[in-house]
Structures are given as C-alpha cells and as structure tokens.
Amino acid sequence: MRCLVTGATGYIGGRLTPRLLEAGHEVRCLSRSPDRLRDMPWARESEIVRGDLADPASLVPAFDGIEVAYFLMHSLGRGDFEALDRQAARNFAAAARAAGVHRIVYLGGPEPPPGDRPSPHLRSRSEVARILLGSGVPTAVLRAPVIIGSGSASFEMLRYLTERLPVMVTPRWVTNRIQPIAVRDVLRYLLAAATLPPEVSRAFDIGGADVLTYAEMMRRYARVAGLRPRHIVPLRPLSPWLSAHWVGLITPVPNAIARPLVASLVHEAVAHEHDLDAYLPDQAPPIGFDEAVRLALGRVRDANVETRWSTAAAWDAAAEPLPSDPDWSGGSMYVDERCREVSAPAADLWRVIEGVGGDNGWYSFPLAWAVRGWLDRLVGGVGLRRGRRDRHHLRIGEALDWWRVEELVPGKLLRLRAEMRVPGRAWLEMSAEPDGDRASVYRQRAVFLPRGLAGHAYWASVLPFHGIVFNGMARNIARGAETPGSRPRPPA
C-alpha cells in the first residue's frame, strides 16, 4: 500500500515509518522541514515531501496516489494548540477525501469518563477524532493512554519524577487508574489498522496488559530501574496547575508540554473495550508494564526495540536514538569528552589504547586511581585487583581492573563498561582515527547514567577530578603513541 505519514519528525511517526517500510509498504512523509528527516536511517527508502497541514494547497501533491493516511501530528506545546490541531484535521480530512484515500488512521487520547470535564489536551484529541471520523473516509481512531517508551513525554515525566524524588508529596491524581501501553504495541496496532475492512470506521480503545495507578507506576518503575522503594504521599491541595509547575521544576520536560499532560492525568485512562483485537486475530497480546519499562531503559538486548533514548547509541544497541527525539528525552546522562590530534599513525595510537590498565596503569594521576580502587573494595567492589589477562592484547568480555571489555574493534575502538560500585552505570570509550599516513586523532568519552539522587550526587563529587584525570589520560596516551617503543608515563 501507499502510505502517507504526517508527524514523521515526531515520536510516533519517526518510529512507525520504518515499520511500514519493513512491512513492504511505500511510504511518503509530509514535513514542513524535510531537512529534519535527512539523517533518518530510513530516509532514502521513503519519499519525503514538503507540505504544511495549515496550507491546503500544499497537501494536494502529498496525497496524490495515497491509499492510507496517518494523522500523527499535534501542536502540544503551543498556547493555541487546540485551534491549530482543529484546522490541521479539517485540512487533512478534506485532502484525503478529495484524493480518494481508502483509510485514515489517527492516534488519539483516551476518552474521559461520562460527566468528567475533559482537559484541553483530551478535548482537542477528541475533537480531531470527530473531524476525521466525519470526513467521509473510513477512519480508525486509536485511543491510547500513557505510552511507555523513551522519548514519550508521558514516560519521560514518569522517569524523571521517579528517579529524582525518593520521597514525593503528590497530587491526588496519582491514585487514578491508568492502562499504560508499550510503544511497540502502539506501533503494532497502528500498522495493523491500515488493513481494517473498508466498512470499519470508528474509535478503538487500546491499552497494555496492566491497569495501575500512577503511584503504582512510579513504584514499579523504581523497582525495574534498580532504585530504592519510592515513598508517595498524596496531598489534596495540589491542583493540576500547581502539579504542572512542580513537574516543570523537577523534570526537564517543558512546561508548555507538561501542563496539558498533567491536566489530563486527573482523568482515569482505562480501555473500556478491546474490539480492535477481533479484527486482528494474529496479533500478539500486549506486553506488561515492567517489560515495557525494561525496553525503554535499554535493559533488553533487542535490535528491534523502538523505545530508544538520549545520545547513547554507542553504549547500548537497544537505546539508539532517533534524530527527531527531543533534547529532554532519554533520562539524565553525564558525558566527559576529550579529543587530541596525535602526530603518530593510528596503529601506534591503538597500541597504547589497547595496553591500558593492569600493570600498565591508566596513564594519569595513579594515586587517584589507586584511592578510587581502595574505596571500591571497601564497599564490596572489585577495585583494581583483577588486572588484565594479557599485557598487550584484549578481547571482548574479559575483565580489566574494575571494567569489562564491552566492545573491541581492533585498531579502532575500545569500550569498557564499569563494574565498580557506583549509583548508576558508567562506560569509558577510547578510539583511534587515521588522519593521513603519519597522524591520527584520539577520542575519549566517559558516560555516566545516574541512578536516583545518589547518582547525581556521585557525579558532582567526582566532577572536580575529571579535568585532571581524563585530560591527563588523553594527553599521556597521545604522548605514548608519539614515542614508539615506550608506554605513557603518568605525571608524578
């Protein structure tokens, strides 16, 4: 089928597009800024056209020959998002009808219980659904609650609140029931909705395997993430307005997005029917909350994981980001990067890199490394006593002092994963790049993913030493490469 995807620069659209391509569909992506899709890994396999849902004339060529059109955009974060989404839906519906599109698929939000006054966010989602269902084109509206996946604004709020607050005084809406759904299940439903019979034109509830309160979601997130149990005290006076500002203070999620999302949490979000499953008999059952969180955190090694975060593609294959993910997604990550030009071939530089650790030392401030090793042993860690198997060569999976060799590309890349006792996860990566026949470039990157407040405090406590330790390490590795037959000498 020939599919049109709007919102391909967004969280869901950017993940649905490669799924459609893998299923054998032809995909055209509509974007006001096509350059934003240039670096997507699937960009060359799809057709990217310039267009704006606020400009009906630009939609005519975009809809030409399209059979299934996905409406996945929204203007959340703009003060006038309701008016913008209303006009976009009207233009989209008119263009789809004029082009003879066979089906519209829309990812909306949950329908508030009867008698509840909907939040502006949910009110807008419902209005867009009504406009598309009234288009005269068969339409499938999928009403999803909180989506669990790195990059999802709702999940990022949950992540940051839970990781940064061991004790929380919370608004009463944390006791409301929610049926969170993993992003991979949302994508499965969106993909399958394109094949619904032409007579089906209606809204469907979708949800995950578990019905939880928001408080239970925070507690279970903490357990999966390896955090200490979280203590949550609901407090009646915290209004949605105050809650939104509280979320904005604690998390990096922008206030303009947090406010409408928090306002929507005052409503329960539970699937009241599962009718869509009857049309999709071969679909696997949705996964549970805990597994969805593991996937979002990159705790599951799976090349097909859609829940990906931050800029840590080098550290975890399951966490490869999309260029369109917002800067505030992915959780906290601290990075120390160093780069030096080396007047020696890359082969000489690699010899020094692969010789790191054990009796060869860590090329800088040996007393600081020794003290850190002693401290690690005092708290039950391995310290520096494991050394290395071979003085000159490493292999994947072996121990190297308090590190483990996670990746090794001979002559190019060494990535070490920390096994010391720290409140978080840490990696150290060193690489050699040729720069002509007689020169090279040394790159060094330390990454720390904190766990809870203790992790943030730990990074702050070691930060003053990084300039000495890591800068000295980079300098001495470069010097060692430039002096064949020797090894780097750390400063006294």
Q: How far apart are CA 10 and CA 325, in angstroms?
A: 7
Task: Please give the average per-residue pLDDT across 451-476, as a whole number.
Answer: 85
pLDDT confidence bin for 311, thresholds 50/70/90 = very low
* Mean confidence (pLDDT) of the chain: 83
Q: Looking at the predicted structure, is the pLDDT value of residue 275 above 80?
A: yes
Helix/strand number for the chain, H first, E second:
14, 19
pLDDT band at 302, cuts 50/70/90?
very low
Domain with CATH 3.30.530.20 in the chain: 334-482
Residue 282: name the closest of 188, 183, 186, 184 by CA.
Answer: 188
- Give the type of residue at 235: L
| pLDDT tops 50 at residue 319 | no
Least trusted range by pLDDT, from 138-152, 233-247, 275-289: 233-247
The tokens describing 491, both together, are 């400063």
* Pair type for strands 177-178 and 403-409: unpaired
Which token pair is 103?
A: 């089906």
What tokens does 322 get?
Answer: 């999309």
Q: What number is the average pLDDT over the span 282-297? A: 89
Q: Where are the extended beta strands (E) located within 288-373?
A: 334-342
Predicted pLDDT of residue 317: 29
pLDDT value at residue 390: 84
pLDDT greater than 70 at residue 197: yes
Encoded tokens for 288: 């549970």
Task: Please indicate, yes or no, whether the overall pTM of this predicted structure exceeds 0.85.
Answer: no
Cα–Cα distances (Å) from 403 to 316, 387, 414, in that order, read 16, 10, 12
Q: Which residues, 6 or more positions from 448, have their beta carbon under 8 angstroms from its beta carbon? A: 333, 334, 335, 422, 424, 425, 426, 455, 458, 459
DSSP class of 452: H
Tell whether domain 334-482 is in CATH 3.30.530.20.
yes
Between 202 and 242, residue with greater pLDDT: 202
Per residue in 348-362, pLDDT (tens digit) is 999 999 999 888 888
Instruction: Identify the top-confidence range among 41-55, 116-130, 240-254, 374-388.
Output: 41-55
- Of 14-23, 73-82, 435-444, which range is least confident? 73-82
- Other beta carbons within 10 angstroms of residue 485's beta carbon come to 6
pLDDT at 307 over 60: no
Q: CATH 3.40.50.720: which residues of the chain?
A: 2-308
What is the distance between the alpha carbons of residues 372 and 317, in angstroms, rounded to a whole number?
A: 29
β 2-6/26-31 pair status: parallel
DSSP H or E segment with residue 28: strand 26-31
Q: How far apart are CA 444 and CA 426, in angstroms?
A: 14
**Domain with residues 2-308, CATH architecture:** 3-Layer(aba) Sandwich (3.40)
Give CA–CA dist 422/57, Å, rounded: 57
Predicted pLDDT at 291: 93
The mean pLDDT value for 159-166 works out to: 82
Q: Which of 61-70, 235-244, 320-329, 457-466 has the highest mean pLDDT?
A: 61-70
pLDDT above 70 for 238: no
Q: How far apart (Å, rounded) are the C-alpha atoms in residues 99 and 264?
A: 35
Return the pLDDT at 321: 45
Residue 325: pLDDT band with limits 50, 70, 90? low
pLDDT band at 239 (very low <50, low <70, confident <90, very high): low
CA angle 150, 288, 222 (to 5 degrees): 60
Rounded CA separation 213/200 (Å): 33
Confidence bin at 25 (pLDDT 50/70/90): very high
Give the whole-number percent of the chain exceeding pLDDT 70: 85
Residues 6+ apart with CB under 8 A from 126: 108, 109, 111, 118
Report pLDDT for 198. 93
